[in-house]
Structure 1
Amino acid sequence: MPIRPDAGGRSTVYGMRGAVACEHPQAALAGIRVLEEGGNAVDACVAMAATLAVVAPMTTGMGGDAFLLFYEAKSGRVVGACGAGGAPRGIDAQKLRDMGLSRMPDRGALTVTVPGAVRLWEDAARELGRLPLGRLLENALRYAREGCIVAEVVGRYWETAGELLRKDEAAARCFLPGGRVPRAGQRFLQPDLARTLEVLCEGGADAFYEGEIARRIARSVREAGGFLSEGDLAEHQTEWVEPISTDYRGVRVYEIPPPTQGIAALEMLGILEGFELAELDPLGAGRVHLEVEAKKLAFRDLRERVGDPDFCEVPVERMLSKEYAAGLREEISRERAAGVSRELSLGSDTTYLCAVDEEGNGCSFINSLYKGFGSGIVAGGTGVCLQNRGACFTLEEGHPNELAPGKRPLHTIIPALATREGALWAVFGVMGGPMQPQGHAQLLADLLDYGMSPQEAADHPRHFHDGETLLLEGRYPERTVEELRRMGHAVEVGPDYAVPTGGAQVIRILEGGVRACGSDPRKDGCALAQ
């Protein structure tokens, strides 16, 4: 693959100290400022996530969930934190079936689960960071109070949400100033959210999960026909988890365990490791076909076996074994596409960000409302848009992911982290619903099998398989499209940079400790390094 300057586009960003990558320049600046003030990688990520909740409100926010992976340089340990809220205690699948529903709705009050992000922000800063939560929220507070300028990609996402936002009075008041969707380049203020951030700066996460903010959140959901209570909010806690991992080409890749789809990313890598991808054209049908077929097998397991491990047994060890991967690999034909059974219904909006600090600590962080503007419900007077993560549950009786009180749904959002011989190798992620495991596998193949730089890997054409359709970005050669169709794939050719193929952010640690950073051109953001 050609590299800059002849190919045009973005360059890989290099540095020797701190580095950040995310989907919005103002959030990246917030992360760098925190590093300059003595914060570490976790502090930088919390500051970026909070800022993104203001400047990219359709993808993320305090009303959503969050996860992180952290590499501690001095010990070499990798820890995970799960900020996934459960379903309200007053709701279950039978109650919804009795209401005449056969599947979870996509939006509205019945899809609201407990938001876990704010508790995770505070716990991460206290347990792993160096700076208090109040300091990490300062940039977000300033943009909410004084206004932020709507970025181009953010503006395009906003345009698609006008009808949803008009259904909720508080949402329309917050996100449709003057009754219209804000345009790129327009200044946008969020006074209600600014007041909520001020309360959090003073009272911490407890001020979100108890007291007036919690009362407003619960009341807004109940008035819209949902079941969330103040007790549900008060009971929520961050879960510290042991990451799951697998080896791929000499690199140890870490993901958050179930109930996330991180296990599907690792399954895909286990299957693909048995093929010599490096011998295949990086833009050729042979490579795309193998990645898609590996995805089908991994998502079959995801659909049939994965749910909240507090409620069902997930055979993680077996699913990640090399022997199991070898058996799945035998199901793949090199010449023909396999059929697809019933697919998961998973949304596409989230935000991913990452940081490495001067000491070599690394943080991979993801925060989401699920689909754009989540449930479409804003808690009156708070500016907090509530997620629709409950849409990921099934109402199928006996299924591992069946809706139950306090249960966490199958989660799309997954941060990733990799080490080599115990040293940090990369923090990375590819945001975007069911694209995320596919994106993790494709990005790692670009980096490891094809030797691309971080920015080349972020730029590289990607493909997205969903249901029976295989979407290829328009930069794939016509011969690749034709060959995939001959193999039986239902190919759809999209624009050169297609939204469903997600948004990648990556920081690699090179020889001598050099930080090499890439940020996806499909988003508004950038990578910055000291």
Structure 2
Amino acid sequence: MRFCLLLLGVFSSLCIAKEPASSLPVLPSQTGQSFMVSATNPYVTQTGYQVLNKQGNAVDAMVAMQMVMTVVEPDMTGLGGGTFALYFDNKSKNFSAIDGRDAAPASATPDMFLADATAGNEVLGPRTVAIPGTLKLLYQMHQQYGNLPWSELVQPAIDYAQNGYVMNSYTYDIVVREQHRLTRDPAIKALYWQGDEVKPAGTLMTNPALAKTLTMIAKQGEAYMYQGALGERIVSSINARLTAEQPKLSMADFNQYHLKQRQVVKSQYGDNQIFSFGYPASGGLMVSQTLTLLEPFKLSTMSMTSAEPWRLMTEAMRITQADRVAYAGDPDYVAAPMKALLNKDYIDARRKLIPQSGVQNKQPQAGELSTFSPVLDNTPEGQDTGHISIVDKQGNAIAMTSTVGTGMGSGVMVDGLIMNAQMGNFTHTPLVEGKPAQNAIAPGKRPRSAMTPLMVLDKHNQLRLVVGSPGSAQIPGYVLKTLVGVLDWNLSAQEAIDLPNIQYGTKIDRTKAENITGLLVEKKTFAEMLAPELMAQGYPVHILPMVSGLNAIELKDGKIIGASDRRRASTSMGK
């Protein structure tokens, strides 16, 4: 028997075989033998399940899931933003790193935010809109690999935009957090406000303007944005909000935007091969560096509930973070020494910075490379990101992380789409300590990112793990602890995701005058019991929420096991 799934009053066009499972999954993990999807939002997970159950492949599922994310998670991701997709072809055992990151317009200049940086002003708004890449990535990957019709994959998102979805508390919190700037946009205010109050979590939301946009995208594909009416309206709408002297967008920027094939970063950790995305996505290289630094310490022999392995992970990541912010950049514009940063001799020298006990007294500096002169560029990176992990019936896999740059992007909506704020993720001061920053603005350039889509192959060259997370600069740390949990402590992916989040850094909070820096320890976890020992070793410890959004798929003993983050509404579904 076949039927079209009814989900909160919304009919999906994807008809699937009748399943005993609930239409809205509530369990944090699922086990299957054929396929699996894992995502931060149940609507997204359900959509991916439907596609794979209807003979779609991993790319088909990615397209449909990202389209639905555009509707139900516009605070984090969407077609107005950018994407990194790591794709694994099981038959050839080949990886592809496809860069659909947003690009600076041709009119952009290195110093366009310099005055604001000097004065300490916020730059978010229409001038932070870069040329989005997500739709281009979805369409072109579908043209190359897709199985089901494009229009059919867009239809579930159209249904949600027309007929409704329930706004979750995470979106509500972000809208409230960013309301001082979101109320400046009439379309956003009309959608999210009722009178003087933000609509509460649990509200049934519709977005008719986005439904119309998606309907045209279903018919015209990428051309509707990059050569057509949507691109023209984005250009005219953004430019109308800019002053005469501010850099403008143009249709030539959209016409000339194209995807990039980036280097796949490969490293070894024990018997496992780690595969991740090369620059400008910098989280994967940072995780690979960190694992290589840690390997001689044999974390597998240490208790996960003792302070020492967490201290070692913290100190190693402080070292690799210094390298990341100094060297990461768009490799089409700056020299990107990824191979040198993974060189054995370089890693061995960096490992000597890890103290035998306690904390490094000084903030680690980037390592010196013979042909590079690094600068420490700690420009704050955007928050609020989405991630999906997919394994299909053929064993192909995708780890895809996407974002609109920060919560609700630039705060500008065009035809129902939230536009990105990626220009704000470039360095605002083109010279740091008198040296050019790797992440300085340039026309056509793509900003660095901490996003970390990552996969693991075992010693038999078989796929073992697909993983990624939202979380801005904290993403590499979230992924690292998950890998250590699975590869060193033999935990399931779900158990590894459930491990506490502990890492050194700055917690960005727009509601406070100052952002706290130190060892960030997740509250309401066993990590709280480690705090006295960590304080005694010299760490400034802050116990607070650490809301990761990890989504993983583990392949083990002939089973495909979904794992998702209980800190959010994440779910996994498979068969």
TM category, shorter: over 0.9
Give matches, 1:216-235, under 5 Å. Answer: 216-225=233-242, 226-235=247-256
Instruction: State yes or no: 1:255 paired with 2:272.
Output: no
Contact kept, 8 Å, 1:65 with 1:367, in 2: the verdict is yes
Aligned to 1:519, which of 560, 564, 574? 564
Cα distance change, pair 48–100 in 1 and its aligned pair in 2 (3 A): closer
Q: Which residue of 1 aligns with 2:8?
A: none
The Cα shift of 1:162 comes to 2.4
After superposition, give the CA deviation of every residue in 1:14-37 in whole Å (9 maximum; x if it has no partner): 100111000111111100111111
Cα distance change, pair 166–201 in 1 and its aligned pair in 2 (3 A): same
Aligned to 1:507, which of 513, 531, 553? 553
Cα distance change, pair 102–238 in 1 and its aligned pair in 2 (3 A): farther
Instruction: State yes or no: 1:301 paired with 2:346.
Output: no
Instruction: State yes or no: 1:387 paired with 2:397.
Output: no
Give matches, 1:109-148, under 5 Å. Answer: 109-148=126-165
Q: Which residue of 1 aligns with 2:58?
A: 41
Aligned to 1:340, which of 357, 360, 363? 363
The Cα shift of 1:174 comes to 3.3
Instruction: State yes or no: 1:70 paired with 2:92.
Output: no
The Cα shift of 1:100 comes to 7.9
> Secondary structure, in 3 states, of the residue corresponding to 1:154?
helix
Give matches, 1:101-180, under 5 Å. Answer: 105-178=122-195, 180=197
Letter in 2 for 1:405: P
Aligned to 1:281, which of 290, 303, 306? 303
Q: Which moved more, 1:296-305 or 1:87-96?
A: 87-96
Instruction: State yes or no: 1:323 paired with 2:345.
Output: yes
> Secondary structure, in 3 states, of the residue corresponding to 1:273?
helix
Whole-angstrom CA distance in 2 between matches of 1:201 and 1:309: 33
Tell me the TM-score normalised to structure 2 length.
0.86
Cα distance change, pair 144–178 in 1 and its aligned pair in 2 (3 A): farther
Contact kept, 8 Å, 1:304 with 1:400, in 2: the verdict is yes
After superposition, give the CA deviation of every residue in 1:285-315 in whole Å (9 maximum; x if it has no partner): 2112111111111111111112111111011
Q: What RMSD over aligned residues (CA atoms) do the two structures have, in Å? A: 1.9
Q: Which residue of 2 aligns with 1:491?
A: 541
Q: Which moved more, 1:51-60 or 1:263-272?
A: 263-272
Whole-angstrom CA distance in 2 between matches of 1:157 and 1:222: 26
Cα distance change, pair 175–219 in 1 and its aligned pair in 2 (3 A): farther
Q: Which moved more, 1:141-150 or 1:234-243?
A: 234-243
Whole-angstrom CA distance in 2 between matches of 1:52 and 1:264: 27
> Secondary structure, in 3 states, of the residue corresponding to 2:469?
strand
Give matches, 1:21-100, under 5 Å. Answer: 21-97=38-114
Aligned to 1:407, which of 445, 453, 461? 445
Whole-angstrom CA distance in 2 between matches of 1:296 and 1:48: 34
Q: Which residue of 2 aligns with 1:197?
A: 214
The Cα shift of 1:369 comes to 0.8
Letter in 2 for 1:521: R
Instruction: State yes or no: 1:476 paired with 2:526.
Output: yes
Q: Which residue of 1 aligns with 2:480?
A: 441
Q: Which residue of 1 aligns with 2:462?
A: 423
Whole-angstrom CA distance in 2 between matches of 1:274 and 1:308: 32
The Cα shift of 1:64 comes to 0.5
Contact kept, 8 Å, 1:64 with 1:368, in 2: the verdict is yes
Aligned to 2:261, which of 240, 258, 269? 240
After superposition, give the CA deviation of every residue in 1:375-430 in whole Å (9 maximum; x if it has no partner): 11112xx1111111111211232111111111111123231111123211111112
Letter in 2 for 1:471: L
Cα distance change, pair 263–303 in 1 and its aligned pair in 2 (3 A): same
Percent identity between the two aligned chains: 27
> Secondary structure, in 3 states, of the residue corresponding to 1:503?
coil
Q: Which residue of 1 aligns with 2:404?
A: 369
Letter in 2 for 1:393: F
Cα distance change, pair 523–493 in 1 and its aligned pair in 2 (3 A): same
Whole-angstrom CA distance in 1 between matches of 2:194 and 2:103: 32
Whole-angstrom CA distance in 2 between matches of 1:124 and 1:132: 13
Contact kept, 8 Å, 1:126 with 1:132, in 2: the verdict is no
Whole-angstrom CA distance in 1 between matches of 2:498 and 2:115: 48
After superposition, give the CA deviation of every residue in 1:76-111 in whole Å (9 maximum; x if it has no partner): 111111001211111111344478857894411222
Contact kept, 8 Å, 1:79 with 1:240, in 2: the verdict is yes
The Cα shift of 1:443 comes to 0.7
Letter in 1 for 2:430: E
Q: Which residue of 1 aligns with 2:510?
A: none
Whole-angstrom CA distance in 1 between matches of 2:122 and 2:176: 22
Gaps of 5+ in 2: 1-25, 365-375, 507-516
Contact kept, 8 Å, 2:27 with 2:571, in 1: the verdict is no
Cα distance change, pair 84–478 in 1 and its aligned pair in 2 (3 A): closer
After superposition, give the CA deviation of every residue in 1:355-388 in whole Å (9 maximum; x if it has no partner): 1111111111111112100111112xx1111111
Q: Which moved more, 1:295-304 or 1:171-180?
A: 171-180
Q: Which residue of 2 aligns with 1:528?
A: 573
> Secondary structure, in 3 states, of the residue corresponding to 1:464?
strand
Q: Which moved more, 1:72-81 or 1:197-206?
A: 72-81
Letter in 2 for 1:528: M
Contact kept, 8 Å, 1:125 with 1:132, in 2: the verdict is no
Q: Which residue of 2 aligns with 1:6?
A: none
Contact kept, 8 Å, 1:148 with 1:187, in 2: the verdict is yes
Cα distance change, pair 194–180 in 1 and its aligned pair in 2 (3 A): farther
Whole-angstrom CA distance in 2 between matches of 1:64 and 1:483: 42
Contact kept, 8 Å, 2:35 with 2:574, in 1: the verdict is yes
> Secondary structure, in 3 states, of the residue corresponding to 1:107?
coil
Aligned to 1:396, which of 420, 430, 443? 430
Q: Which residue of 1 aligns with 2:513?
A: none
Whole-angstrom CA distance in 1 between matches of 2:97 and 2:121: 29
Whole-angstrom CA distance in 1 between matches of 2:248 and 2:212: 26
Whole-angstrom CA distance in 1 between matches of 2:336 and 2:188: 38
Q: Which residue of 1 aligns with 2:504?
A: 465
Q: Which moved more, 1:325-334 or 1:349-358?
A: 325-334
Cα distance change, pair 67–516 in 1 and its aligned pair in 2 (3 A): same
Letter in 1 for 2:316: A
